[in-house]
Every structure is written in C-alpha cells, then in structure tokens.
Amino acid sequence: MTESSAAALPRTDAGPQAPSPALGVLRRVFGYDAFRGEQEPIIEHVIAGGDAVVLMPTGAGKSLCFQIPALVRRGTGVVVSPLIALMQDQADALRALGVRAGFLNSTLDPDERRVVEAQLLAGELDLLYLAPERLRSEQTLRLLAQTEIALFAIDEAHCVSQWGHDFRPDYLTLSVLGERWPGVPRIALTATATAATHEEITHRLGLEQAKHFVASFDRPNITYRIVPKAEGKKQLLGFIREEHPGDAGIVYCLSRAGTEKTAEFLTTNGVEAVPYHAGLDAGMRAAHQSRFLREDGLVVVATIAFGMGIDKPDVRFVAHLDLPKSVEGYYQETGRAGRDGLPSTAWMAYGLADVVQQRKLVQSGEGDEAFRRRAAAHLDAMLALCETAGCRRTRLLRYFGQELAAERCGNCDTCLIPPETWDGTVAAQKALSTVVRLQRERGQKFGAGQITDILLGRKTAKVEQFAHDELSVFGVGADLTESEWRAALRQLLALGVLAVEGEYGTLVLTEASGPVLRGEREILLRKDPTPPKRSRTATAKSAAKAPVDLPPEAQPLFDALRAWRTGQAREQGIAPYMVFHDATLREFAVRRPATLGELGSISGVGEKKLATYGEGLLEVISSADSA
Ligand code: ADP
Ligand code: ZN
C-alpha cells in the first residue's frame, strides 16, 4: 500500500484506544463497524506474514480476509481466482470503495493488459486479480518478481482438488507461489468444507505450515425446504409467486434444455427469467450474468456453470428443479442465497424420477470403478438429506463434520412442520415381492411405473400385454394411492433397498432387500406433506410482501431509495449492489439519517461512498420525509 491509496492510514499519535490498522480499514474503506466471526484473527495472522487456510461458508465474508491485509501490508495483494467472468465486477466493486484494483486475464486486449502491468509496476495497485493460467507463463512470473507483493490469496481453493466438483488443472501449478516467494504470506480460501477437500488443499498448495481457520458452516438466515415433486415448474412458479415475488433468484436445472424451458415458462407467467448454460454463446452468457447483477429481481435459470463466485448479496432464493449430485454441490449452490444475511430460501423439488435418473447417471457415468463408487456415495448422502424426517440443517452440518447447538434448527421445513412417519415395512415387502415375482416367474425387469400399476391392480394396456394381472401380487397394494406408492418407491431407492439398473431404469433388488423381505428389518417411511391449498386472496396478499423485512412505514422511502440506487448504478455502469446493499438501504429507510455524520455511521457506508453519495442521499431521504 502506498501513501496515495484511499486506504492509507493517518499517521497520528494514536492513543491506546485507537483501532488496529485492520479495524481502521474495515471502518473507513468498507464502512463496517466490526469484524465478523473469525475475520479478525485471520486478518491479523496474514498481516503478520503468516500463511492461512480458510474454510468459511459463502457469505461469511472471506473477501475481507485478504482484501484488508492487502491494504494494510506494503505492496500489491495478488488474488488468484478461476472466475474470469467476474473479475471486472470484483474490480469495479473495489474501485467504488476507493480501492485501487485491477485484473489480468484473457478478456483483456494487449493495450489494456499493458496499462494494468504498468500500474502494477508503478506500485499503483492495492489488489490484482489473476487468472490461474497466467501463472503458467514465465512472463507473468517475471512481472510479479519485479514488484512488491503484499500477499497471495488463492480464492476458490477447492479447485485444486482433483476429485472435487470444480477441479481446475491450473490450480495444481499454484504450489510455485510458495517456492518462488517464500517470504510472502499465502491465504487459501474456500466455501467447501469436507475434511477430504481441506486436506487436499493443504497438501497440494504446500500449506502444511499454515494456520487453519474453519468457521461454522451454518447459514442461519437460509430456510431449507425440499418438497415432493409433482409438476416441478408449476411448483416453482407457485413458490416464487407466493414467497419471493420480485426477488432475485437462481434456479438450477440439470440440462441445458431444462434451463431454457423453465426460463421461458417463468417469463410467460410473469416472472422475468433468463437461461444460463455452457451451450449459450459467450456474449449471451455475459449479457445474462450482467443483467442478473445489475437488475433488481431477475431470475437466472442455470446449469451448475452459473453462480460460483458471484457475490451478488441480495439473491433471495436458490431453487433446484433437479437433484444435485452431492451435498457439497447442493450446499455451495444454496449458499449463494442471502449473502447479505437477510432471510432467504433454499427450495428444492425432488421426486421418484430424479432418483431413478441420478442412479442411472452414476452407473453409466464415466471414470473408473472407484470414481463411480464415490459418485454413488455422494448421491446416497444427497438422497438421505432429501428423505430425512429430521432437521435438514443438522444433517447438512454433520455432513461437514459440524454440530448445531440444538438438535433442531427451527428454520427448515422439517423443523417448521415435522413430517409424519409411518411403518412402511409391509408396503416395502409388497414392492420388493413384485420385483422378485417379475424376475423369478417371468425373467422380466420393469421400471417404477409398471411396478406401481401392478401394485395398484391397474389393467393398463401394458399390464395386459404382459399378462401382469395374472401375477399373485397384482393389486396387493390397492390400499395406497399412486402418489403414495411413488413416494414409497422413491424412499426405498434412496435407502438402497431397491436399485435402478440399465438404460431404462428398471428396478432390481439389492443386498439390503433380503432382510426386508424376510421381515428382519423394519422400514420407516416419511409421509409426504400435502401442499397447503392457498386461496387466491392469500396469494395476492403475500405477493405484496417487501423483499426485505421492513416496517410498513419505511416502505415508501425504501422504494424511493431503490429507484435512486438504480439511477446511480446506471449512470456509472455498475451493479446496484455496488452502490449500496439492500441491507444498507433498509437501514437508511428505517433510521432516516438527516446529516452526513448520521449517514456515515450506518453499516456499509465507508468514506468513499459517503463522499460520493452522501449529499444526494440526504436529499432523497428528506424529500421523502416531506412527501
Ligand atoms: P464470501 O466470499 O465468504 O462468500 P463475501 O466476502 O462476499 O463472502 O462477504 C459477504 C457479504 O458480507 C458481503 O456483502 C460483504 O460486504 C459483507 N461483509 C463481510 N464482512 C463484513 C463485516 N465485518 N461487517 C459487515 N458486512 C460484512
Ligand atoms: Zn431444522
């Protein structure tokens, strides 16, 4: 850091009460009062020159853990990140705070690159974002060798994990940093929390000597809900209309076609949505991402390609229309909701077809046997989360080796409305017997649809074609409804008491089937909740709900502030959240500051923003007062 930096510290005779340099930067540059969680010890450790491995959930505030040390230490902080498409936004957001930030990646033309390189060499950058592949080139390494480096931050560090879900081969070369710059502190950060990933990061990046900081992965402001899928798209629409009208959200689908159909369906039904997947051309992807960041309340329907590193703070919901492949992936994706700490929802619709499809994918998937076993284990954990009658959050955290203070969180669907369970042993035996008879007596295997029809005793064309009405099990399950059978089969598959085989997803027995058939193992099933029927008026009422929890008298000012913010953002070509977060606008609307001093005391208002927006804001607030 040099003297001209916005973050430069006043060299006064600080008394014993003076804040530490780190706290000073937090308040002056970022406008926040206090550190969160483990931020302070991490930041102090890196400022003192120590290496760190930081595991923190999304939204916990990892960025400050390297940004502040970069501002306090001499030289430029170099941030390695795989998220090339976001570097521009990250640099913009920092510049809006008065921090001198730049980036080097393949999106720059040679002239732009030279400008950044010159700034770096002149010591005019506090932070430089760098794509990992740059570090393969001797030219980049030489460039860095000519400047003073404050620290290396390795963001999204789980990308170094070969078996993880985001492996980037270029991350394997990052061990070079420790070798070439032994005196420069390195801080590796990720929101992926399993012990295996943690170990791989430490080992592959040569961070054995580093201090490790593992935060609680709980995200208390996110409500987790997993609902049985009937008509996924319609359920999604209902969910958005009832609970998140006008809110920004991300919807995840497995297939590219699925994202496009869903986006179209939502838009046709009045919820503005755009698709995002690897098959769209780069220009359109960039345009959709940019709209998502810049507009209030747009929904992006995406394959997993979307969202990593997007630090839009006001994503109010993340929805899954298809089953994620692992709990790790699910937690990363849902974690993109509610970074600002305001209430948000992680919603998923999940059904029998999903289990069948995913089990099939795992079996026919690429990779060797060990890889497939791993994929199967990931899926089992995901299914167990879906089918649990216990608290979802407790399960999620246990998956990451952490415990919640209480047995139940009170903010997930199973805590809010505990599901009923029933003794499904006899039902399971009926279903398994049907599979057995088909195979033993006929040498046949069928999928869940036909098994259900046989159990229900339905004389469909296919039943008659194969004379399945002559099986002794025909109609033995007439005591349950079709949806109950689908739910039961889904759970038996999730439990591994039944398995899926082959291209057509036929059902077959497993090693775990025998004890159930012989009556040695009881099967407890959860009853799918019946979705509450909402009246039209109830829907209309909740549609008027404010995007953030606001006292009604503050609503008009909040709306005026949002409109003001949109105008400011447009003028500067940046995203609204880079002007101020919703949470900060909310504070303005509730507290109605009347002076610059009062404004500056609100969380999220640093020196630069106070200077840029202060007068304008006071005007908006006072004219709303007199209105
Ligand atoms: P992560 O990278 O861990 O997902 P971010 O660094 O994007 O999280 O931080 C999440 C949000 O929390 C950001 O909007 C950030 O400005 C805010 N934030 C971080 N630290 C603090 C703090 N100490 N006080 C208030 N807000 C904070
Ligand atoms: Zn719970």
Residue 10: band (very low, low, confident or very high) from pLDDT cuts 50, 70, 90: very low
Closest atom of ligand 1 to CA, residue 65 = 6
- Percent of the chain exceeding pLDDT 70 equals 93
Q: Which of 205-209, 477-481, 495-499 has the lowest mean pLDDT?
A: 495-499
Residue 450 φ then ψ, to 5°: -70, -40
Ligand nearest to the CA of 393: 2
Residue 404 φ then ψ, to 5°: -90, 150
Nearest one of 324, 355, 162 to 250, comparing CA atoms: 324
> Ligand 1 within 6 A of 62 CB?
yes
Question: Residues spanned by CATH 3.40.50.300 within the chain?
Answer: 3-214, 222-350
Task: Write the pLDDT tens digit of every residue in 452-467.
Answer: 999 999 999 999 999 9
Of 17-26, 191-200, 284-293, 455-464, highest mean pLDDT: 455-464
- Measured in Å, residue 9 CA sits from the centre of ligand 1 at 22
Q: Give the pLDDT of residue 531.
A: 58
- Measured in Å, residue 97 CA sits from the centre of ligand 1 at 14
What residue's CA is closest to ligand 1, atom 10?
59
Q: Give the pLDDT of residue 550.
A: 82
**What is the CATH T-level fold of the domain 222-350, as seen in this structure?**
Rossmann fold (3.40.50)
Residue 374: band (very low, low, confident or very high) from pLDDT cuts 50, 70, 90: confident
Task: Report the alpha-carbon distance of residue 538 to residue 542 in Å, rounded.
Answer: 6
Residue type, 88: Q
529 is written with which tokens? 């909740």
> Ligand 1 within 6 A of 337 CB?
no
Please check the confidence at residue 537 and state whether its pLDDT lies above 70.
no
What residue's CA is closest to ligand 1, atom 5?
61
Residue 69 φ then ψ, to 5°: -60, -35
Task: Report the alpha-carbon distance of residue 417 to residue 142 in Å, rounded.
Answer: 60
Task: Write the pLDDT tens digit of every residue in 85-113.
Answer: 789 889 999 999 999 999 999 889 999 99
Residue 507: band (very low, low, confident or very high) from pLDDT cuts 50, 70, 90: very high
Residue 16: band (very low, low, confident or very high) from pLDDT cuts 50, 70, 90: low
> Ligand 1 within 6 A of 43 CB?
no
Closest atom of ligand 1 to CA, residue 35 = 23
Closest atom of ligand 1 to CA, residue 62 = 3
Q: Give the pLDDT of residue 282.
A: 87
Helix intervals (H) in 193-304:
195-204, 232-243, 256-268, 282-294
Which of 36, 66, 548 maximizes ligand 1 atoms within 8 Å of its Cβ, making it the mutation to test the pocket? 36
Which of 25, 29, 32 maximizes ligand 1 atoms within 8 Å of its Cβ, making it the mutation to test the pocket? 32
Nearest one of 314, 376, 379, 320 to 347, comparing CA atoms: 320
Ligand 2 ion local residues (Cβ < 5 A): 391, 393, 409, 412, 415
Closest atom of ligand 1 to CA, residue 577 = 14
Task: Report the alpha-carbon distance of residue 93 to residue 149 in Å, rounded.
Answer: 22
Residue 546: band (very low, low, confident or very high) from pLDDT cuts 50, 70, 90: very low
CA distances for 289 relative to 274, 311, 569, angstroms: 9, 12, 16
> Ligand 1 within 6 A of 313 CB?
yes
Please check the confidence at residue 142 and state whether its pLDDT lies above 90.
yes
Residue type, 522: E
Please check the confidence at residue 367 and state whether its pLDDT lies above 80.
no
Task: Report the alpha-carbon distance of residue 285 to residue 275 in Å, rounded.
Answer: 8
- Measured in Å, residue 409 CA sits from the centre of ligand 2 at 4
Nearest one of 580, 567, 622 to 32, comparing CA atoms: 580
User: How many residues can be counted in the chain?
Assistant: 627
DSSP per position, 411-478: SBHHHHSPPPEEE-HHHHHHHHHHHHHHHHHH-----HHHHHHHHHT---HHHHHTTGGGSTTTTTTT
Task: Report the alpha-carbon distance of residue 384 to residue 51 in Å, rounded.
Answer: 37
Site of tokens 């954990």: 381
β strands within 241-343, DSSP E: 248-252, 273-276, 299-302, 315-320
Which of 189, 311, 340 maximizes ligand 1 atoms within 8 Å of its Cβ, making it the mutation to test the pocket? 311
Q: Which of 33-47, 156-170, 454-468, 588-602 has the lowest mean pLDDT?
A: 156-170
- Measured in Å, residue 224 CA sits from the centre of ligand 2 at 8
Q: Give the pLDDT of residue 9.
A: 47
Please check the confidence at residue 392 and state whether its pLDDT lies above 80.
yes
DSSP per position, 394-417: HHHHHHTT---SSS--SSBHHHHS
3-state secondary structure of 195: helix
Please check the confidence at residue 143 and state whether its pLDDT lies above 70.
yes
Mean pLDDT, range 439-457, rounded to an integer: 94
The residues pairing with 581 across neighbouring beta strands, listed in sequence order, are none
Please check the confidence at residue 164 and state whether its pLDDT lies above 70.
no
Ligand nearest to the CA of 313: 1
Question: Residues spanned by CATH 1.10.10.10 within the chain?
Answer: 421-526
What residue's CA is closest to ligand 1, atom 15?
61
Q: Give the pLDDT of residue 543.
A: 36
Residue type, 251: V
Task: Write the pLDDT tens digit of every residue in 280-326.
Answer: 998 999 899 989 988 888 999 999 767 766 778 899 999 999 999 88
- Evaluate whether the domain defined by 421-526 bears CATH number 1.10.10.10: yes
In the chain, the largest separation of any two C-alpha atoms, in whole Å, equals 94
Average pLDDT score, the chain? 89
Task: Write the pLDDT tens digit of every residue in 36-78.
Answer: 999 999 999 999 999 999 999 888 899 999 999 999 999 999 9
> Ligand 1 within 6 A of 194 CB?
no
Pick the CATH number of 3-214 from 3.40.640.10, 3.40.50.2300, 3.40.718.10, 3.40.50.300: 3.40.50.300
Please check the confidence at residue 366 and state whether its pLDDT lies above 90.
no
Question: Residues spanned by CATH 1.10.150.80 within the chain?
Answer: 549-626
234 is written with which tokens? 């319609």
Q: Give the pLDDT of residue 161.
A: 86
Q: Give the pLDDT of residue 2.
A: 41
Task: Tell me the whole-structure pTM to 2 decimals.
Answer: 0.81
> Ligand 1 within 6 A of 58 CB?
yes
The rounded Cα 528 to chain-centroid distance in angstroms is: 26
The four Cα atoms 440, 446, 448, 449 give a dihedral, to 10 degrees, of: -120
Check the CA dihedral 605-607-609-613 and report its sign.
positive
Name the residue with higher pLDDT: 574 or 517.
517
Task: Report the alpha-carbon distance of residue 292 to residue 290 in Å, rounded.
Answer: 5
- Measured in Å, residue 301 CA sits from the centre of ligand 1 at 25
Please check the confidence at residue 549 and state whether its pLDDT lies above 80.
no
What residue's CA is closest to ligand 1, atom 23?
35
Q: Give the pLDDT of residue 163.
A: 65
> What's the CATH superfamily of 549-626?
HRDC domain (1.10.150.80)
Residues 6+ apart with CB under 8 A from 322: 252, 253, 254, 255, 258, 354, 357
CA distances for 365 relative to 263, 358, 426, 451, angstroms: 28, 10, 34, 26
Nearest one of 333, 416, 328, 424 to 377, comparing CA atoms: 328
- Measured in Å, residue 142 CA sits from the centre of ligand 1 at 33
3-state secondary structure of 387: helix
Task: Report the alpha-carbon distance of residue 214 to residue 295 in Å, rounded.
Answer: 34
Name the residue with higher pLDDT: 401 or 193.
401
Residue 625: band (very low, low, confident or very high) from pLDDT cuts 50, 70, 90: low
Helix intervals (H) in 184-226:
195-204
Closest atom of ligand 1 to CA, residue 603 = 25
Which of 36, 63, 129 maximizes ligand 1 atoms within 8 Å of its Cβ, making it the mutation to test the pocket? 63
What residue's CA is closest to ligand 1, atom 19?
61
The four Cα atoms 506, 509, 513, 517 give a dihedral, to 10 degrees, of: 90
Ligand nearest to the CA of 581: 1
Task: Report the alpha-carbon distance of residue 427 to residue 424 in Å, rounded.
Answer: 5
498 is written with which tokens? 């039944």
- Measured in Å, residue 505 CA sits from the centre of ligand 2 at 33
- Measured in Å, residue 313 CA sits from the centre of ligand 2 at 23
Query: Are 529 and 536 contacting, i.e. CB atoms less than 8 angstroms apart?
Result: no
Task: Write the pLDDT tens digit of every residue in 246-259.
Answer: 999 999 999 999 99
Name the residue with higher pLDDT: 348 or 57.
348
